[in-house]
Amino acid sequence: MKRVLLAIAGLMMSGAALASSEALPYSYQADTSNPASLQRGARNFMAYCSGCHSMKYLRYNRIGNDLGIPEDLLKSSLMFTSSKLGDTVNSAMPAEPSKAWFGQTPPDLTLETRARGADWVYSYLRTFYIDTTRPLGVNNIVLPGASMPHVLWELQGWQVKEEAHGDAAAHGGEGEHHGAPLKLIQAGTLSPDEYEKFVGDIVNFMSYAAEPGKSLRMGIGPKAIMYLLLLLVLCYFLKKEFWRDVH
Ligand code: HEC
């Protein structure tokens, strides 16, 4: 019994070690249980991202069902790139020319938060900065040399990179999040707080898209484990009962 417990503890610890991210400027715990945030995130994803990025494993009617968005609203405010409810989220961008325009075809983003992690995507969307040496005049802290324009500049405004100070690097060891070395030099239409929330909503929606069944599974998981533990106890006593007469 002790050995089983030790094995379980070991598994849990290795999981935690894997989950702890490397030094990204920001950490973010996605919340897929807040329908209002997911709805805002979906709307903003469609408005600001689906022009270039698809979510080819996600259908509009699934979004509607899961997020509680009625069909007419779905059609009028989310479905910019197709008209059928059963369609998956396409991008408006033809793949080949976009490669010529940006140097990269904008990748499908259905599984992005699973591939890169929510922290990464959140940090990515917050750390575009002016870099005149780049073709589009912008660069990114977590994806250096990124070929995506800073599509949210009107909301966030423009940031520049600050020179690293000697002691800034001395603070915080590996795995800590100490913000990006960026300074806002031109305000956007959103305040920094509002922009953080805006990005948070998009990352929440993207996390939902990567695992649409997650909240359901989270509900079933603990019950299944309780059931198995109960079964284990019963089996133990049953075994004792069986062997009592043998000894
Ligand atoms: C004008 C086209 C365009 C728009 C609009 C756009 N992107 Fe991108 N995006 C790109 C391109 C091109 C890349 C590839 C960058 C590279 O690899 O250098 C990219 C890359 C990304 C990546 C990194 C993928 C990876 O793992 O390397 C993420 C995440 C992303 N975009 C999210 C978004 C989100 C969220 C939005 C909406 C707020 C958005 N993008 C809007 C063109 C766009």
pLDDT digits (tens, 9 = 90+) for 166-200: 544 444 444 556 788 999 999 999 999 999 999 99
Ligand 1 site-directed mutation target among 52, 111, 154, 206, most atoms within 8 Å of CB = 52
pLDDT above 50 (res 20): no
Integer Cα distance of 11 and 100 in angstroms: 46
Confidence (pLDDT) at 81? 77
Q: pTM of the entire structure?
A: 0.80
Of 23, 207, 243, 185, nearest to 109 by C-alpha is 207
Integer Cα distance of 169 and 165 in angstroms: 7
Structure-token pair, residue 234: 């019963």
Ligand 1 site-directed mutation target among 91, 105, 148, most atoms within 8 Å of CB = 148
Confidence (pLDDT) at 13? 57
Inter-residue contact 40 to 201 (CB < 8 Å):
yes
Confidence (pLDDT) at 122? 98
Determine whether the shortest distance from the Cβ of 99 to ligand 1 is under 6 A: no
Provide the pairing of β-strand 128-130 with 88-89: unpaired
Confidence (pLDDT) at 77? 85
Integer Cα distance of 22 and 176 in angstroms: 8
- Distance (angstroms) between ligand 1 centre and the Cα of 52 equals 7
Of 93, 57, 87, nearest to 75 by C-alpha is 87
Confidence (pLDDT) at 7? 66
Residue 143 burial by Cβ neighbours in a 10 Å radius (0-12, 13-18, 19+): middle
Q: Which residues contact 78 (CB under 8 A, 6 or more apart)?
A: 42, 43, 46, 60, 63, 69
- Residue 186's DSSP bridge partners are 158
Determine whether the shortest distance from the Cβ of 209 to ligand 1 is under 6 A: no
Average pLDDT over residues 142-158: 96
Confidence (pLDDT) at 168? 46
Closest atom of ligand 1 to CA, residue 105: 12
Integer Cα distance of 25 and 127 in angstroms: 9
Determine whether the shortest distance from the Cβ of 155 to ligand 1 is under 6 A: no
Integer Cα distance of 206 and 111 in angstroms: 8
Determine whether the shortest distance from the Cβ of 121 to ligand 1 is under 6 A: yes
Q: Where are the domains of the chain?
A: 24-212, 222-247
- Distance (angstroms) between ligand 1 centre and the Cα of 141 equals 14
CATH of domain 24-212: 1.10.760.10
pLDDT in tens, 76-131: 888 987 778 999 998 888 777 888 888 888 999 999 999 999 999 999 999 999 99
pLDDT in tens, 186-237: 999 999 999 999 999 999 999 999 999 877 677 788 888 999 999 999 999 9
- Binding-site residue numbers for heme c are 49, 52-53
pLDDT in tens, 32-83: 999 999 999 999 999 999 999 999 999 999 999 999 999 999 998 889 877 7
pLDDT in tens, 155-167: 999 999 987 665 4
| Displacement of CA 91 from its chain's centroid (Å) | 19
Average pLDDT over residues 3-17: 59
Confidence (pLDDT) at 8? 65
Complete DSSP assignment for 104-153: SPPPP-TTHHHHH-HHHHHHHHH-EEE-TTSTTSEEESSSTT--S--TTH
Average pLDDT over residues 130-149: 95
Determine whether the shortest distance from the Cβ of 112 to ligand 1 is under 6 A: yes
Which residue has the CA at smallest separation from atom 24 of ligand 1?
A: 107
